């Protein structure tokens, strides 16, 4: 039933594909060698399809030797043969073959540059290789490397011999999926991808030609934001796809008389313009594609080789992920395609996203095309995924900091290395990870610690338990941390164990256990050997369960265990396996006692050898010893070879490059001052005296004089702006003088000089702003205290019984800090910032200045490169002073003649900023990994 549905779906799929091929054939045409113009004069008289063993031979019988081009397309796999100037006779096309290699053959006809082209489209099964040649003037296409005939996909019927004295049990045949084989090498590859096609700005291609220096110039209406460069083989062609581009014409073609390029063709597509450059004689040529202010330029020949060599010499090789190795006892799988992704195809990474769910973290990789995924490294701190036959745009070469999500994944880095795309995930603890295919995207799933599987054979199981480690071809999906096999047990409590074997159904009554094991061996394609103590019968009914789970349950029921060596599984009783384990341990211990002692010199690069000595001693045997050469900072370890390897591994783990932190502090001080003062002075004198000739005429008082009595030294100054003395009755001036404020004086007097009136107005306003920035910087190692300072020592005279002594008091700017880098990449700082300076405006009795102190001491947690304010002081002092004559100064309006007003507003602000940066973050991270 499964086979019938699979074939019916395959026929429907190829029927739809044939219709698409007929439409696609009329849209774009591949590179075709030159042929004479005019109507076709060559014909294909007969098409012969002849299966022969492991290959299928397709022959096109023509009147004379044709000119043709062969290329392969994907999704679905199909081979296209274009024949220039050839016409198909009455051929029976389309034709359904279904021989395991060829599914369907169709044809199409179109015109290219005024010439007729006949196209033969051959639908192929995945994994089929092709070879095209001319034999006796006919075109021959040989298809080989079949993925299997249709009959091979039918379920295998496993027969089980009936046990003696029991009826023959009915077996439910397991459904075995058809094995996949690697796809053939692609006939094209993506060599460069620039920009994001979804964010590119539209441009119009106006002209394509060659300049005076032999460069191919693509003239556009503006800059090209996104493009892709491909190489097509057999013959070699250079293809440039310009995204979000259009052309006035649907297609264009231009032949070149000389140079490495023979012909340039361009065609308009819905979302791009494709430019194809046919190399002369189909030979590869060095090239370099570069952006121009308006369009693109393709540099060819020696100039491209020189530019490429300079570019490669200026780049740093990223080899951190390549140099990583798997820890002992942990298996990292070999090349394995991602689920749902066919290996061997070229793809482009369009986007990389991170999603944190309740119990899982997902790295979502959006691929355009197909790529081969391979997990090359995984440990408790990091995991590395490698994508082969894949390109990564420059804007996606970045690091995503995911520590804010609070999960086990701390960062996701993507970069290009050695023609491959690598993704490095830094984790805070050991987590299981696997690859999935969902919604057309490749997803790298990391399980949280709460949802991880307990390792089989861990503590809590029965004595002698062990997990079986399955080969990559036996699992559906992939997990880096698969359990290792050390001894044997088929039973024991396991928490949420995962079985990935092929699913089978079993229904037996009183069946001999040997027959059941033979059935499982046939389904699993493994060899099973039983000991003499394995016997008995079982009655089971299982439907659609993995074979490894069925084997585990059966062995658990019969108190049996298993040991796997390669593709052989040995089944024995738990007691027998436990005794074997005990004997193996005793033999290993006895061997260590007689093993020869060896000496190994372990250099220590970053740490101090004396600090690691104690940790190394703990893993050595009683016969082992360790000493230190302080001159070269080398550990001299003597022990058996096994412990020497452990000691060296421990030293390499502990001897990591210590991160360095650059701490920058900024102390910002801002002072503003504002003063406003308004004053008034007025007065005079009035006399009725004999001297002035105007006495009162009264016996008493005969002489009367009225004179202001509030004069001071300023009012008697001749420069005060009035006569001297001023005889002020109201003397409330502002503090004006040279360089500050202003004053205006008025003087009124009588003709006889008996009366004088003096008036003087003064006003003052002063504003000031001061800003001081102090920025000390210092670099130190992780967990090491550092101090930097600058200032002066001020001599202070101190009087004591011994006389006058001089002491020096430091007034300086000082930064003292101790950093600690956390696992999440943040920096914990213990900071003490001090700024002391002398104030000569305030002195002591002997003229010694006072010391103005500004200090801050705290602990803060800051992310790498961020700036934070650790403290600040803000003060504001305002005052308003009114001096005047009682009662009179309170009179509205007139009161201004009897008072002085002064306002002050002083503000002071102090802020302290801290910015830490990890100087050697990349080197320290790689060293720790």
Q: What is the CATH number of the domain that holds 539?
A: 3.55.50.30
Q: What is the CATH number of the domain that holds 224?
A: 2.60.40
Residue 167 counted as domain residue: no
Same structural domain for residues 279 and 354? no
What are the angstrom distances between the C-alpha of 611 and each of 586, 628, 651, 653?
Answer: 34, 10, 11, 14
Residue 31 counted as domain residue: yes
pLDDT score of 510: 87
pLDDT above 60 (res 22): no
For residue 853, the surrounding DSSP H or E stretch is strand 849-863
Lowest mean pLDDT among 313-317, 688-692, 896-900: 313-317
pLDDT above 70 (res 29): no
What are the angstrom distances between the C-alpha of 486 and each of 139, 238, 380, 492?
Answer: 59, 54, 21, 15
pLDDT score of 163: 38
Same structural domain for residues 577 and 602? no
Contact call for residues 433 and 447 (beta carbons, < 8 A):
yes
Same structural domain for residues 829 and 893? yes
Domain residues for 628?
Answer: 595-655
Residue 751 counted as domain residue: no
Maximum CA extent, the chain: 169
pLDDT score of 909: 92
Contact call for residues 862 and 870 (beta carbons, < 8 A):
no
Contact call for residues 820 and 827 (beta carbons, < 8 A):
yes
Same structural domain for residues 791 and 707? yes
Of 616, 632, 655, the one marking the end of a domain is 655
pLDDT score of 187: 63
pLDDT above 60 (res 924): no
Q: What is the pTM of this model?
A: 0.39
For residue 926, the surrounding DSSP H or E stretch is helix 921-928
Residue 470 counted as domain residue: no
pLDDT tier for residue 114 given thresholds of 50, 70 and 90: low
Q: Three-state SS across 681-730?
A: EEEEEEEECCCCCCCCCCCCCCCEEEECCCCCCCCCCHHHCCCCCCCEEE
Looking at per-residue pLDDT, the higher value among 75 and 258 belongs to 258
3-state helix, strand, coil in the chain (%, to 5): 15, 45, 35
pLDDT score of 818: 93
Same structural domain for residues 603 and 573? no
pLDDT above 50 (res 452): no
Same structural domain for residues 434 and 511? no
Residue 169 counted as domain residue: no
Q: Write out pLDDT tens, residues 320-366.
A: 333 333 333 333 333 333 333 334 446 788 888 888 887 788 899 98
> How buried is residue 202: exposed, middle or buried, by Cβ count under 10 Å (0-12/13-18/19+)?
exposed
Closest by CA position to 832, among listed 788, 893, 768, 772: 788
pLDDT tier for residue 860 given thresholds of 50, 70 and 90: very high
Mean confidence (pLDDT) of the chain:
77
Residue 334 counted as domain residue: no
pLDDT above 80 (res 450): no
Same structural domain for residues 106 and 82? yes
Of 297, 313, 329, the one marking the end of a domain is 313
Q: How far is CA 202 from the centre of its chain?
A: 29
Structural domain count, the chain: 6
pLDDT above 90 (res 878): yes
Residues facing residue 69 across a β-bridge: 82
pLDDT score of 391: 84
pLDDT above 90 (res 675): yes
Same structural domain for residues 56 and 102? yes
pLDDT score of 720: 52
pLDDT score of 480: 32
Contact call for residues 47 and 138 (beta carbons, < 8 A):
no
How large is the average pLDDT for residues 245-269? 86
Phi, psi for 112 (deg, rounded to 5) = -135, 115
What are the angstrom distances between the C-alpha of 629 and each of 499, 713, 922?
Answer: 52, 87, 30
> How buried is residue 672: exposed, middle or buried, by Cβ count under 10 Å (0-12/13-18/19+)?
middle
Q: What is the CATH number of the domain that holds 51?
A: 2.60.40.3500
pLDDT above 70 (res 28): no
pLDDT score of 420: 84
How large is the average pLDDT for residues 566-578? 91
Q: Write out pLDDT tens, residues 573-616.
A: 999 999 988 998 888 888 877 788 899 999 999 889 999 999 99
Percent of residues, the chain, with pLDDT higher than 90: 19
Q: What is the CATH number of the domain that holds 605?
A: 3.30.1370.120
Residue 164 counted as domain residue: no
pLDDT score of 603: 93
pLDDT above 80 (res 467): no
Same structural domain for residues 660 and 645? no
pLDDT tier for residue 45 given thresholds of 50, 70 and 90: confident
Question: Which two three-digit tokens encode residue 804?
Answer: 């006058």
Strands 390-391 and 347-356 turn out to be: parallel
pLDDT score of 133: 85
Q: Write out pLDDT tens, residues 222-251.
A: 899 889 888 888 788 889 999 999 998 888
Same structural domain for residues 196 and 146? no
pLDDT score of 101: 85
Closest by CA position to 572, among listed 865, 483, 581, 36: 581
d(CA 400, CA 361) in angstroms, rounded, equals 13
Same structural domain for residues 501 and 585? yes
Q: Write out pLDDT tens, residues 622-657.
A: 889 999 999 999 999 999 888 899 999 999 888 888
Radius of gyration in angstroms for the set of CA atoms belonging to the chain, rounded to a whole number: 47
d(CA 203, CA 273) in angstroms, rounded, equals 10
Residue 173 counted as domain residue: no
Same structural domain for residues 276 and 370? no
pLDDT score of 899: 93
> How buried is residue 151: exposed, middle or buried, by Cβ count under 10 Å (0-12/13-18/19+)?
exposed
pLDDT above 90 (res 905): yes
Percent of residues, the chain, with pLDDT higher than 70: 78
Taking each helix axis from N to C end, the angle separating 513-524 and 547-557, rounded to the nearest 10 degrees, works out to: 160
Looking at per-residue pLDDT, the higher value among 511 and 326 belongs to 511
- DSSP tag of 186: P
Q: Write out pLDDT tens, residues 280-295.
A: 888 888 888 888 888 9
Closest by CA position to 902, among listed 625, 674, 708: 674
Q: Write out pLDDT tens, residues 169-200.
A: 333 333 333 333 333 444 677 778 788 887 88
Of 428, 451, 474, the one marking the end of a domain is 451
How large is the average pLDDT for residues 112-135? 81
pLDDT score of 321: 34
């Amino acid at each position: 039933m499964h086979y019938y549905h699979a074939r019916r779906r395959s026929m429907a799929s190829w029927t739809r594909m044939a219709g698409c091929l007929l439409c696609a054939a009329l849209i774009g045409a591949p590179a075709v060698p030159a042929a004479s113009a005019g109507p076709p004069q060559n014909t294909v008289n007969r098409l012969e399809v002849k299966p022969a063993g492991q290959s299928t031979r397709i022959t096109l019988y023509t009147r004379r030797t044709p000119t043709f081009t062969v290329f392969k397309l994907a999704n679905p796999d199909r081979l296209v043969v274009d024949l220039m100037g050839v016409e198909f006779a009455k051929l029976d096309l389309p034709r359904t073959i279904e021989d395991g290699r060829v599914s369907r053959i169709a044809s199409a006809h179109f015109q290219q540059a005024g010439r007729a082209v006949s196209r033969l489209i051959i639908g192929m099964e995945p994994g089929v290789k092709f070879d095209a040649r001319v034999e006796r003037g006919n075109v021959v296409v040989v298809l080989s490397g079949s993925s299997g005939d249709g009959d091979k996909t039918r379920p295998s019927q496993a027969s089980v011999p009936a046990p003696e004295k029991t009826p023959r049990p009915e077996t439910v045949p397991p459904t075995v999926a058809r094995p996949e084989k690697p796809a053939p090498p692609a006939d094209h590859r993506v060599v460069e991808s620039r920009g994001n096609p979804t964010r590119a700005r539209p441009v119009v291609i106006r002209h394509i030609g060659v300049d005076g220096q032999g460069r191919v110039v693509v003239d556009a209406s503006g800059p090209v934001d996104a493009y892709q460069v491909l190489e097509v083989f057999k013959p070699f062609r250079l293809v440039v796809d310009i995204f979000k581009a259009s052309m006035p014409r649907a297609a264009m073609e231009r032949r070149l008389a000389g140079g490495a390029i023979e012909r340039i063709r361009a065609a308009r597509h819905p979302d791009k313009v494709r430019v194809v450059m046919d190399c002369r004689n189909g030979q590869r040529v060095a090239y370099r594609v570069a952006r121009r202010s308006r369009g693109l330029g393709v540099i060819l020949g020696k100039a491209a080789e020189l530019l490429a060599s300079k570019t490669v010499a200026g780049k740093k090789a990223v080899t951190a992920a390549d140099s990583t190795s798997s820890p002992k006892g942990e298996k990292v799988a070999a090349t394995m395609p991602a689920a749902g992704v066919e290996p061997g195809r070229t793809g482009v990474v369009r986007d990389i996203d991170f999603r944190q769910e309740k119990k899982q973290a997902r790295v979502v990789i959006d691929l355009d095309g197909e790529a081969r995924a391979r997990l090359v490294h995984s440990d408790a701190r990091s995991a590395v995924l490698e994508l082969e036959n894949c390109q990564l745009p420059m804007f996606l070469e970045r690091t995503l900091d995911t520590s804010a999500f609070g999960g086990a994944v701390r960062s996701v880095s993507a970069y290009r290395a050695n023609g491959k795309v690598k993704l490095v995930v830094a984790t805070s603890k050991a987590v299981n990870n696997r690859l999935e295919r969902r919604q057309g995207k490749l997803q790298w799933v990391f399980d949280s610690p709460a949802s991880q599987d307990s390792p089989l054979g861990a503590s809590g199981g029965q004595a002698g338990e062990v997990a079986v480690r399955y080969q990559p071809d036996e699992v559906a999906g992939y997990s880096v941390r698969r359990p290792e096999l050390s001894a044997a047990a088929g039973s024991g409590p396991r928490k949420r164990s995962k079985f990935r074997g092929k699913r089978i159904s079993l229904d037996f009554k009183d069946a001999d256990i040997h027959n059941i094991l033979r059935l499982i061996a046939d389904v699993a394609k493994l060899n099973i050997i039983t000991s003499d103590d394995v016997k008995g019968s079982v009655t089971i009914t299982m439907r659609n369960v993995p074979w490894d789970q069925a084997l585990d349950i059966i062995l658990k029921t019969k108190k049996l265990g298993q040991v796997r060596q390669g593709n052989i599984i040995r089944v024995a009783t738990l007691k027998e396996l436990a005794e074997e384990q005990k004997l193996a341990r005793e033999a290993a211990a006895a061997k260590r006692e007689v093993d020869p002692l060896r000496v190994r010199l372990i250099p220590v690069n970053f740490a101090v050898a004396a600090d690691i000595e104690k940790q190394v001693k703990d893993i050595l045997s009683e016969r082992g010893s360790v000493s230190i050469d302080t001159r070269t900072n080398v550990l001299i370890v003597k022990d058996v070879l096994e412990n020497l390897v452990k000691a060296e591994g421990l030293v390499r783990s502990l001897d990591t490059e210590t991160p360095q932190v650059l701490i920058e502090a900024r102390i910002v001080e801002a002072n503003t001052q504002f003063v406003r003062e308004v004053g008034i002075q007025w007065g005079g004198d009035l006399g009725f005296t004999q001297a002035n000739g105007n006495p009162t005429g009264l016996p008493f008082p005969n002489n009367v004089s009225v004179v202001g009595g509030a004069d001071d030294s300023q009012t008697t100054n001749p420069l005060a702006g009035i006569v001297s003395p001023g005889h002020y009755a109201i003397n409330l001036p502002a503090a004006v003088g040279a360089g500050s404020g202003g004053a205006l004086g008025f003087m009124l007097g009588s003709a006889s000089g008996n009366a004088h009136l003096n008036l003087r107005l003064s006003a003052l306003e002063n504003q000031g702003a001061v800003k001081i920035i102090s920025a000390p910087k210092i670099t130190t190692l992780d967990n090491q205290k550092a101090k930097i300072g600058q200032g002066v020592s001020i001599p202070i005279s101190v009087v004591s019984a011994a006389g006058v002594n001089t002491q020096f008091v430091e007034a300086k700017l000082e930064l003292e800090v101790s950093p600690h880098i956390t696992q999440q990449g943040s920096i914990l700082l213990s900071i003490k910032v001090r700024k002391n300076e002398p104030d000569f405006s305030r002195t002591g009795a002997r003229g010694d200045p006072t010391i103005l102190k500004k200090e801050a001491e705290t602990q803060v947690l800051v992310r790498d490169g961020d700036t934070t304010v650790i403290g600040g002081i803000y003060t504001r002092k305002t005052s308003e002073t009114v001096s005047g004559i009682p009662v009179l100064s309170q009179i509205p309006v007139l009161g201004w003649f009897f008072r002085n007003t002064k306002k002050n507003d002083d503000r002071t602000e102090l802020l302290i900023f801290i910015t830490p940066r990890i100087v050697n973050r990349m080197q320290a991270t790689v060293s720790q990994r």
